[in-house]
């Protein structure tokens, strides 16, 4: 189920003059919205669910290939085993595929809302308020390993001489691993792009002064003091 009813509302439209009336309040609201959305988007348990779903779907694929192999043998016992294996395959692949599809739909909604709020302004000082500690690495590193494993398994399967059952099982596992790793990798890259954009000053604008560094009364700004 999508969390659309509990997500922060969309950001306000940009004023025609290009200047916000209450920029400080806008940045505070933006930081709260980004914090909530980033925790939804980069939740560690969502990564674990994706890897688990990939493993369960791969198991279901292997059961399906074995079930079809039993059915084509023509023996009664093998037919019974084939039906049993196909039933177990459906019990593994359908829930896992539905879970992945629901997660993708949820990520589309949350990720779109997250990018909308991020594009509204830039304020590196609020980055610690919405940055998910360890979330990016938890999505990135296992995704790289899983996609690399899927690609390596696929290349070795294609180049090896295997039986139809073995080829079908291994190539299916390779595709599932590569697809799951690609999903996680795309999500981690999208998040790191948001963080990198937040740290990059907006073109044409000077970075806001840090608290405590504003010049006092009668004091010239830094870099403009008269030299002796």
pLDDT recorded at residue 216? 46
Whole-number pLDDT of residue 140: 92
**Where in the chain are the domains?**
31-199
41-97 pLDDT, tens digit per residue, is 999 889 999 999 999 999 999 999 999 988 887 678 888 989 999 999 999 999 999
> Looking at residue 76, what is its pLDDT?
84
Distance CA 221, CA 214 (A): 8
Question: Which two tokens mark 165?
Answer: 């059952």
User: Confidence class of residue 222 from pLDDT cuts 50, 70 and 90?
Assistant: very low
Helices (H), the chain: 23-41, 44-71, 76-120, 127-130, 135-159, 164-199
Query: What DSSP designation does 125 have?
Result: G
pLDDT above 60 for 19: yes
Q: Grade residue 154 by pLDDT with cuts at 50, 70 and 90.
A: very high
pLDDT value for 84: 94
Range picked from 131-135, 156-160, 172-176, 203-207 for highest mean pLDDT = 172-176
Q: Can you tell me the distance from the alpha carbon of 136 to that of 130, in angstroms, rounded to the nearest whole number?
A: 12
């Amino acid at each position: 189920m999508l969390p659309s009813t509990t997500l922060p509302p969309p950001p306000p439209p940009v004023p025609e003059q290009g200047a916000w009336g209450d920029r400080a309040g806008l940045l505070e609201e933006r930081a709260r919205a980004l914090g909530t959305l980033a925790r939804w988007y980069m939740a560690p348990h969502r990564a674990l669910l994706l890897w688990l779903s990939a493993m369960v779907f791969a198991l279901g694929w292997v059961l399906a290939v074995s079930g079809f192999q039993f059915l084509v043998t023509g023996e009664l016992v093998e037919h019974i085993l084939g039906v049993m294996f196909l039933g177990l395959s459906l019990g593994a692949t359908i829930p896992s595929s539905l879970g992945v599809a629901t997660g993708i739909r949820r990520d589309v909604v949350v990720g779109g809302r997250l990018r909308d709020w991020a594009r509204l302004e830039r304020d590196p000082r609020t980055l610690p308020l919405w940055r998910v500690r360890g979330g990016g690495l938890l999505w990135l590193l296992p995704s790289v390993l899983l996609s690399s494993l899927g690609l390596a398994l696929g290349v070795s399967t294609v180049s090896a001489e295997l039986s139809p059952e073995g080829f079908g099982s291994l190539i299916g596992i390779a595709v599932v691993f590569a697809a799951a790793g690609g999903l996680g990798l795309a999500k981690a890259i999208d998040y790191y792009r948001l963080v990198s954009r937040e740290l990059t000053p907006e073109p044409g604008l000077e970075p806001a002064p840090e608290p405590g560094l504003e010049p006092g009364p009668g004091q010239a700004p830094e870099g403009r003091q008269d030299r002796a």
